[in-house]
Every structure is written in structure tokens, then in C-alpha cells.
């Protein structure tokens, strides 16, 4: 893969980390400062690039291994950036990946209906970028609606505050 394609992917991974991270925090009732959220997006986006595009191919690791590595990194960064305890960070990391597990197949179906296969998505950096943009757009629309209605799926902020009060 050419170097410019890797950097283009970085510019997909950073918004992915920002939008999906914001969504998972919204689901648990946390409204983070946008500067902190942007920093999380940049740092985690760089980790995604390192794991998916550099470490995985370099060591020849199977595809699922990078997901486990990214889950651990995501959990650590959520705890570090947003002051979540371990249980809260694990819940948010789980929601982060659950959001991706739900949205990516939906966008894959849309691509399949237009005649673009998964193989074509994975082999072409520009189709992959388009796929990523559509996935993030879907998450962003849902996120906008959730934040507008103050929706909270799991109110763990009450649990976190209670533990810190002890």
C-alpha cells in the first residue's frame, strides 16, 4: 500500500475514533469536553493505524488479533482521558466496538446492493475511505439524534461518582 494511502487511512481513523468514542460515551451518559474528545480521537486514531496497518502486516498476525489489542488500548485510553474506572472503561470500550459491529455490516449491505464486494472494499483504499465515511455518517446521524434527546443507554456515570465518593 502506498504511503499516501496509509496517511489517508489515518485521516479516516481519527474521525472514527472521535465519532464512535463520542457515541459510546453518550450511551453511558458522559458528555466530554470536545478538546479532550479531539485529543482522544487523534491518539486512538494513531493507535488504530499502528495496529491495523503497521504491526499486523509486519508480524503476520491474524485479523482478529488487532481487535483484541485495540480493545485493550481503547479501554486504557478511555480510562486515562475521561477518568473512568476499569468497569466503566470496559463498558465504554465494549460499546465502542459494538457500534462498529452494527454499523459496518449495514454499510456493507448498502455497498453489496450497489455491486461492490467486501474484497473490493478491502483492496481499494479509496473505496475503503468511502466505506469509512458512510459508516461514520451513519453513526454521526444517530449520535446527533441521541445527544439532541439526552438519551442514555446505561447511566454508569452514577456508578462512577458513587465509587469515588467512598
Q: pLDDT by residue for the chain (166 residues), tens digit each? A: 677 777 788 888 999 999 999 999 988 888 899 999 999 999 999 999 988 888 888 888 787 888 899 999 999 999 999 989 898 899 999 999 999 999 999 999 999 999 999 888 878 878 888 998 999 999 999 889 888 888 777 777 655 544 444 4
C-alpha cell at 41: 480521537
Q: CA angle, 151 as apex, 145 and 153 as ends, to 5°?
A: 125
Domain ranges within the chain, ordered by starting residue:
3-165
Q: Is 100 in contact with 131 (CB distance < 8 Å)?
A: no
Residue with cell 465494549: 94
pTM as predicted = 0.84
Amino acid at each position: 500500500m502506498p504511503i499516501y494511502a496509509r496517511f489517508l487511512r489515518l485521516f479516516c481513523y481519527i474521525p472514527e475514533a472521535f465519532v464512535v468514542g463520542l457515541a459510546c460515551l453518550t450511551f453511558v451518559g458522559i458528555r466530554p469536553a470536545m478538546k479532550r474528545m479531539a485529543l482522544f480521537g487523534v491518539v486512538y486514531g494513531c493507535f488504530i493505524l499502528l495496529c491495523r496497518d503497521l504491526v499486523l502486516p509486519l508480524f503476520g498476525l491474524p485479523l482478529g488479533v488487532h481487535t483484541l489489542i485495540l480493545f485493550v488500548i481503547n479501554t486504557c485510553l478511555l480510562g486515562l482521558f475521561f477518568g473512568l474506572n476499569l468497569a466503566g472503561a470496559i463498558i465504554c470500550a465494549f460499546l465502542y466496538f459494538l457500534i462498529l459491529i452494527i454499523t459496518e455490516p449495514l454499510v456493507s449491505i448498502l455497498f453489496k446492493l450497489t455491486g461492490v464486494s467486501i474484497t473490493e472494499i478491502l483492496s481499494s483504499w479509496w473505496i475503503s475511505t468511502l466505506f469509512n465515511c458512510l459508516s461514520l455518517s451513519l453513526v454521526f446521524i444517530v449520535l446527533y439524534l441521541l445527544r439532541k434527546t439526552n438519551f442514555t443507554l446505561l447511566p454508569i456515570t452514577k456508578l462512577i461518582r458513587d465509587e469515588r465518593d467512598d
